[in-house]
Amino acid sequence: MSDNVMRGKGFPTVSRRTFITGTGSILGLATLAGRATAAPAPAPIPPGAHVPALVIGTGYGGSVAALRLAQAGIDVHMLEMGMAWDTPGSDGKIFANTTAPDQRSYWLRTRTKQPLSNFLGFPIDKDIPRYTGILDAEEFGGIAVYQGRGVGGGSLVNGGMAVTPRRERFGAILPTVNADEMYNVYYPRANAGLGVTNVDQAWWNSVACYQYARVGRKHAERSGFSFVFVPNVYDWEYMKQEVAGTVPKSAVAGELLYGNNAGKKTLQKTYLAQAKATGRVAISALHRVTSVAPANGRYAIAVEQLDTTGTVVATKNVTADKVFFAAGSVGTSKLLTKLKATGVLPGLNNEIGKGWGDNGNVMCGRANHLWDPTGAVQASIPTAGIDNWDAGGAFAEVAPLPTGIETYASFYLSITRNPHRAQFSWNSAANRVELNWQTAWKQPSIDMAKSIFDKINAKEGTIYRTDLFGVYKIWGDHLTYHPLGGAVLGKATDNHGRLHGYSGLYVIDGALIPGNTSVNPFVTITALAERNIDRIIAADF
Ligand code: FAE
């Protein structure tokens, strides 16, 4: 790790920390975690700065935009409302374990809101200090939307499942996008940039930490379902060493939902590391964008700087020639909905805020027989799923339950073909953006998931777990991990993400995708961003 000095056009000189370049240096990154405190904190964007390109958010879309703009010689500043996640806590680790959430785990909450709220009849949430933690369980009327907060966005908290949708399904996902281009150029580019690889199946078949997935395969196949392996961004060589006991355990110790301290190739280690290595990309963490307004042929951006309690410690105004909205489906949609409704960006069209979907997410657990254990130690990185999309409209991820004890449970996150789409709107009295999703809209998803698990239960003589989402509640129908839409490609924007009504404003994240990808979404978000930024750099700069 080294410090370097950036003298980007239009920026004051700032010292900033670079990350190790490349995607394979996981051992090096484990070392980096231990040394992080020695490095000086990067200087945030100063008030009054002008930047050629400003990116709001540091998730998949924002990271692709920053890297490709920088490689084209354009200086970029990224504003991220969450923390940098580069400094260990008092336990010597940057991230908290899934089984022991603490203040680092949740975004400005005083009590955890774990996706599985109960276990064996007992609620498992607990009080924590309010802090700018890594996972936001953002609550709207009918749904809690889980999102990553910090430099790296959703890549900090997600399962790393890196799935390219089957090509024959692509027309239903992004109907206005040329599939040949995506499958020949942009999906391969995204997979390479993210460091996507496949698990070694011989090893997988032999290790205790994937017993739960092998039980999932056995049950799927005995009921005639197609069981498919799914690529991931986890460093499998590192996981092999975890199992062998030669390196600190991360996935095998259950780290995931609140961050992985080693092993997972988050955007910090891939796109953002490369972007920073260009010397043209700076990132201000704990900086939340509240407004983007036209100003003399440029854009004026209002920013709140937060401390780790969420208190606004400074407000800043900066300007940019071009602004990329990459705050995630919810973040981008909320900003645009508010800015249109309050007359700051009145020229945005009426598609803003529309076409939002939950990727059909629904969760459930099954109770296995005592002679069919799923293992006390479960690797937190999912590797496989049941593909029943063509027959029943569901792709069910065989998910871990990394509790550290034998649960005799099989756990699944299903992605289903749910037709419902919600809309964001501005509530001026309450001074907030609302989303009109209704919990009852999950019923088609439940029905599709049931078409798999009713059959498996009948075949195996097993039942659903009723203790994971409340008391006697089978379905986790209150949440999504996969928000998509709200500024849909070809509707709120042109076919490459340029917002209608304003030259130089772009959407480049999950908000572009109309509600469903038929599989886990981040590879599609990344590939679409690669496609759009290619065109934008060629035509607009
Ligand atoms: P995202 O990654 O959410 O980044 C947006 C960033 O913008 C965040 O860092 C925000 O903090 C920041 N931001 C928001 N508002 C502002 C503002 N006003 N000012 C400044 N910054 C702001 O967006 N997907 C998969 O494909 N495979 C998986 O295995 C998988 N597992 C998941 C597990 C969990 C628990 C969760 C929560 C998600 C999972 N996902 C998975 C979904 C995936 O992480 C998500 O689709 C992407 O992260 C979305 O990428 P975006 O670039 O749209």
Which pLDDT value is given to residue 423? Answer: 98
**Ligand 1 atom nearest 526 alpha carbon:** 52
Which pLDDT value is given to residue 42? Answer: 67
Q: What is the mean pLDDT of the chain?
A: 92
CA of 357 relative to ligand 1 center, distance in Å = 14
Which pLDDT value is given to residue 9? Answer: 30
Structure tokens at 94: 């940057």
Give the count of beta carbons closer than 10 Å to the beta carbon of residue 180.
9
> In this structure, which amino acid lies at residue 410?
S
Structure tokens at 143: 């749904």
Best probe residue, ligand 1, of 55, 78, 80 (max atoms within 8 Å of C-beta): 80
Structure tokens at 219: 């049950």
- The residues assigned a catalytic role are 397, 482
For 261-287, how does the pLDDT look when each residue is reduced to its tens digit (9 = 90+)? Answer: 999 999 999 999 999 999 999 999 999
- What's the rounded Cα separation, in Å, for the pair 336 and 153? 19
Which pLDDT value is given to residue 35? Answer: 38
Which pLDDT value is given to residue 119? Answer: 87
What average pLDDT does the segment 229-241 reach? 98
Ligand 1 touching residue 61 (CB < 6 A): yes
State which H helix or E strand residue 338 sits in.
helix 328-341
Closest to 325 in 3D by CA, of 306, 364, 352: 352
Q: What is the DSSP string of 339-358?
A: HHHTTSSTTS-TTTT--BB-
Closest to 283 in 3D by CA, of 153, 183, 154: 153
Q: Name residues whose C-beta falls within 8 Å of residue 499's C-beta, 6 or more positions apart in sequence.
A: 325, 336, 348, 487, 492, 493, 505, 506, 507
Contact 251, 243 (CB under 8 A): no
Ligand 1 touching residue 327 (CB < 6 A): yes
Dihedral over Cα of 527, 8, 80, 103: its sign? positive
CA of 463 relative to ligand 1 center, distance in Å = 33
CA of 392 relative to ligand 1 center, distance in Å = 28
Where does the pLDDT of residue 15 fall: very low under 50, low under 70, confident under 90, or very high at 90 and above?
very low
**Ligand 1 atom nearest 523 alpha carbon:** 26
- What's the rounded Cα separation, in Å, for the pair 508 and 225? 36
Residue whose token pair is 């254990």: 373
**Ligand 1 atom nearest 147 alpha carbon:** 37
**Burial class, 510, CB count within 10 angstroms (exposed 0-12 / middle 13-18 / buried 19+):** buried
Give the count of beta carbons closer than 10 Å to the beta carbon of residue 473.
17
Which pLDDT value is given to residue 397? Answer: 97
**Ligand 1 atom nearest 115 alpha carbon:** 35
Residues listed for the chain? 541
pTM above 0.75, yes or no: yes
Contact 335, 350 (CB under 8 A): no
Ligand 1 touching residue 385 (CB < 6 A): no
Which pLDDT value is given to residue 120? Answer: 82
Contact 366, 456 (CB under 8 A): yes
For 113-122, how does the pLDDT look when each residue is reduced to its tens digit (9 = 90+)? Answer: 999 999 887 8
Ligand 1 touching residue 136 (CB < 6 A): no
Give the count of beta carbons closer than 10 Å to the beta carbon of residue 463.
11
Which pLDDT value is given to residue 462? Answer: 98
Which pLDDT value is given to residue 40? Answer: 62
For 32-51, how does the pLDDT look when each residue is reduced to its tens digit (9 = 90+)? Answer: 333 344 456 668 999 999 99
For 328-375, how does the pLDDT look when each residue is reduced to its tens digit (9 = 90+)? Answer: 999 999 999 999 999 999 999 999 999 999 999 999 999 999 999 999
- What's the rounded Cα separation, in Å, for the pair 326 and 165? 22
Which pLDDT value is given to residue 455? Answer: 98
**Ligand 1 atom nearest 332 alpha carbon:** 15
Which pLDDT value is given to residue 29? Answer: 36
CA of 170 relative to ligand 1 center, distance in Å = 21
For 404-455, how does the pLDDT look when each residue is reduced to its tens digit (9 = 90+)? Answer: 999 999 999 999 999 999 999 999 999 999 999 999 999 999 999 999 999 9
Q: Which pairing describes strands 298-306 and 287-295: parallel, antiparallel, or unpaired?
A: antiparallel
Ligand 1 touching residue 482 (CB < 6 A): yes
Residues of the chain with pLDDT > 70, as a percent, come to 92
> In this structure, which amino acid lies at residue 392?
G
What average pLDDT does the segment 203-209 reach? 98
* pLDDT of 16 strictly over 50: no
Which of the given ranges, 29-33, 155-159, 467-471, has the highest pLDDT on average? 155-159
Which pLDDT value is given to residue 6? Answer: 31
For 486-510, how does the pLDDT look when each residue is reduced to its tens digit (9 = 90+)? Answer: 999 999 999 999 999 999 999 999 9
* pLDDT of 25 strictly over 80: no
Which pLDDT value is given to residue 39? Answer: 55
Ligand 1 touching residue 392 (CB < 6 A): no
Best probe residue, ligand 1, of 60, 151, 339, 432 (max atoms within 8 Å of C-beta): 60
- What's the rounded Cα separation, in Å, for the pair 116 and 156? 19
The b-or-e profile of 123-159 (16+ CB within 10 A means b, else e) is eeeeebebbbbbbbbbebebbebbbbbbbbbbbbbbb
